[in-house]
Amino acid sequence: MDTNSITTQTVNFKVFRFNSDVDYLPYYDNYTMEVTSEEVVLDILNRIKWDIDGSFSYRRSCRHGICGACAIKVNGRSTLACKERMNDMIDIFGTQLTFEPLSINRAVKDMIIDKADFWEKHNNVEPYLVSDIEENPKAEHLILPHDAEKLLEADLCIQCGSCHYACPVVEINDDFFGPAAFAAAYRFEADVRDEAGKSRLENLHSQKQGVWDCVKCFECAEVCPKEINPIDKITKLHQMLFKEGVATSNVATRHAVGFKRSIAKNGVLDEGGLVLYSEGLSIVKHVPVALRMFSKGKIVPPWAIVKSKNLDEIKKLVKSSSTAKF
Amino acid sequence: MSIPIYTYDAIIVGAGLAGCAAARELQNVGKKVAVITKLHPLRSHSGAAQGGVNAAFSDEDSVELHEFDTVKGSDYLADQDAVEFLCKNAPETIRWAERMGAAFSRTPDGKIAQRPFGGQSSPRACFAKDRTGLTLLQTIYEQALRTGVKFWDEWYVADLIYKDAKASGVIAFNIRDMKVAIFNAKSVMFATGGYARCFKINSNAHANTGDGLSIVARHGLPLEDMEFVQFHPSGLSGNGVLISEAARGEGGRLINSDGDRFMTKYAPNAMELASRDVVSRAILNEIREGRGVGPRKDAVFIDLTHLGRDLIMQRLPELRDLAITFLGLDMIKEPILISATAHYSMGGIPVNIAGNVRKNNNEFIEGFYAAGECSCVSVHGANRLGANSVLEALLFGRYVGKTMVEEIDDIELRVACEDDAKTALAELDWILSNNGDEIIANLREELQQCMTANAGAFRTKETLDIAVAKVKELRTRYQDVRIKDKSKIFNTELQEAIEFGHMLDYSAFIVESAVARNESRGAHFREDFNTRDDENFLKHTMAYMDKNGEISLNYMDVILGKHELKARTY
């Protein structure tokens, strides 16, 4: 809406319906509505419930993007219903819009999903300041703005689950904590008041559940309605794991260290060497692919690597910045 | 049917700041405590508080000034002993929240930063950018979780077990599957939040349906000062979503369609930072007199462009985002459209400073406590000062938790039985099976429209009589309600029907209390009695509802103190 006019347009909605109490399979209902330029996605959900079908169900509370209850998917993309302008949805997807729950596999009723896995994972990363709380303090901790900013807005996460249910690893690995839980873990690890020591980090380092299983697809950063950028926090946690000496040698951490070793050795990346370092003897399984890539000129064999001209300087930089122990 | 009975030492209803703070106190000393919430705790409306939380700890400020501002802001209806308690304990409470992890904004030397707010003698609102409530809610929930508090989320409390001046638990159902359970305990606390949802234009969450108040009132217990509903000056045009007072605290200017900074007429000294009731009426008056702006001419401008991009991004980023989302206007580049919005409930369940719920002016209920917006201590009187609500919820939540710890060992558990659930079960059964032709969404729309039009920031006997009649009419029509959804899983239509019943009940308290208060005080402004009348109305309303929904009114003395009655100007 600008200051003078409110516009309307006709939109067709295809809406996921399922009541696990009575329905064997989900189905879709179609609604056509006049949508005004003032409306957000939640307004449409409300109008379906209040004007058309009272049984239609979804979670919502604050209606201005701070409680995190109303995340759904519009045309397959996670969104916070109360913060998503209908005009923007129409600009992106046109006037045929599909509303679905964040995770169809977990649908319980219409837009409502069972989020037990989300909360369980959230609770498993020690999502609180670990500190002996002074119950009657006479003064606050002094925290310089520079230190306060280290949270990098991770404290703005509203646990809406948009990133969690957009994450491809969460979909295939039941143990994986997921981007929201990592952002929560980072929020406390970055807090100068936190005294958790290594316990939270060790948990985050564990295979299958931990940060090393992130595939760096950036989907979490893409969908976050609060622009928290979870993958940035995951990367920070990777660095913390090395810095605090929690990272132990495994295929994922060696993959990270392999980059450093290659750069320290040649000043440029030796992809074959990187795979050899991270996977060791298992590299044999990659030989057929490597040969084909070599034949097409996609990779350079280790003996043909041209070292960087400023290698001495690069070595100094790597030495001064790396905290890897292996 | 057999109903499970869960036994705890203490049951807390509501998981916002007050509920979580109390739960942590109880759990910390090893009491078995359950917190029941119809949402997930982190969805509680405390998290929506934006601008700040008051504590007088800067060198230029004092606890006494904080008290004075609060009492003056309240239009002298606040109980001064309670205000003293609030202001005295504010600095420690804020620092305690900081020690628990709250992510406050900081001064260059690392202290908690403070900003000016309306009606304050000194910059006193501690803040975390413009999401102060969010960091406090997260912090207190996290620390309650850490101590091992058991949270029952997405459970709806339908009734209080109350008889013989003693509370001993609640009846609740699991929203996921409608299974009913009895929660039996020595002590029960209500921390269920506010009631502004009965107005069409309001800043509140969908969840703020005043359930706790109506559940209490249905047991014949009083509600205090219900006529006092705060209309916040800056709700976004059209939907009432809040733009924090921080926008004015940081320097926002209010402008009408003539381009005039109209607060010069209404509060020449404090200007935009006059008390909320004063600024809201000024805005609505400008609109009424034809100087509104926007597509419906139902708003005024707030201009923040002179603050510059850096300050807005540093201190008001969420507010900017809200105006872009709902109005398509970027406050860095252009003024945005605001108007008054029903925001905060000064009235509520009457309690003393310790949090004990009153049975009447002189007697208290054993094992029953309340804190936060659902309660009326009263620290806000007729009008709450900005940045005092979050403080009240956190501080009284915590101290009422301490009261519960002190009293709990002297309370004998009254063992619950299935019969205690019969009212709640009958209500559920009635809504599921009733076969009329009224639809909840329509009835609610009529109530909200009527309340905003007739019981809003400007009231007269005439308009309030219309509202009284409308509430009665809707009460009758509610008997003919029919819901479509008869299923057991997340029956949100059934939940909305119960919530609407609660809205109807407490709305009757608002309008009946308002029509009897023939004066103007704080947020209650009667155009037919436009001055404060201390001789007749320096007293709290204590209203009761009988089984037929009829309201009867009584009054209770205000506790005065060192801050003497004065005319209130800004």
Of B96, B111, B490, the CB nearest to A57: B490
Residue B301: pLDDT band by 50, 70, 90 thresholds?
very high
Query: ipTM for the complex?
Result: 0.96
pLDDT of residue A4: 59
**Cis upstream peptide for B74 (omega within 30°):** no
Q: Is B276 a catalytic residue?
A: yes
Give the pLDDT score at A163: 97
Sorted by where each starts, the structural domains of chain B and their CATH numbers stand as 5-228+346-419 (3.50.50.60), 236-342 (3.90.700.10), 420-521 (1.20.58.100)
Residue B112's SS3 state is strand
The CATH number fitting domain A116-130+144-243, selected from 3.30.70.1140, 1.10.1060.10, 3.40.30.10, 3.40.109.10: 1.10.1060.10
Q: Is A116-130+144-243 the same fold as A8-113?
A: no
Identify the CA nearest to B492 among candidates A110, A197, A165.
A110
Does domain A8-113 bear CATH number 3.40.50.10320?
Answer: no
> Average pLDDT of A278-303?
87
Residue with tokens 């064997």: A24
Mean pLDDT of B480-484: 97
Q: Is A211 on the interface with B (CB under 8 A)?
A: no
Span A292-305, pLDDT tens digits: 988 898 888 878 88
pLDDT in tens, B101-116: 999 999 999 999 999 9
Cβ of residue A151 closer than 8 Å to a chain B Cβ: yes
pLDDT, tens digit, for every residue of B360-398? 999 999 999 999 999 999 999 999 999 999 999 999 999
Rounded to an integer, the average pLDDT of B406-410 is 98
Does B446 score more than 50 pLDDT?
A: yes
Considering only the beta carbons, identify the residue of B101, B293, B328 that sits closest to A1: B328
Q: What is the mean pLDDT of residues A37-58?
A: 97
Domain boundaries, chain A: 8-113, 116-130+144-243, 251-321
A86 CB contacts (<8 Å, ≥6 apart)? A11, A35, A36, A37, A39, A40, A41, A43, A44
- CB of A146 less than 8 A from some CB of B: no
Confidence of residue A283 (pLDDT cuts 50, 70, 90): confident
What was the pLDDT predicted at B1? 62
Of B108, B143, B439, the CB nearest to A133: B143
pLDDT digits (tens, 9 = 90+) for B40-49: 999 999 999 9
CA angle B217, B222, B227 (to 5 degrees): 95
Q: How far apart are CA B12 and CA B29, in angstroms?
A: 16
Query: Could you read off the pLDDT of B157-184 as tens digits, one per residue?
Result: 999 999 999 999 999 999 999 999 999 9
Please tell me if residue A87 touches chain B, with a CB cutoff of 8 Å: yes
* pLDDT above 70 for A1: no
Confidence band of A2 (pLDDT split at 50, 70, 90):
very low
Contact A179/A161 with Cβ under 8 angstroms? no
CB contact under 8 A, A133 and B241: no
For β-strands A107-109 and A112-113, DSSP reports them as: antiparallel
Residue B446, number of CB atoms within 10 A of its CB: 15
**pTM of the shown model:** 0.96
| Averaged pLDDT of chain B | 97
pLDDT in tens, B34-80: 999 999 999 999 999 998 999 999 999 999 999 999 999 999 999 99
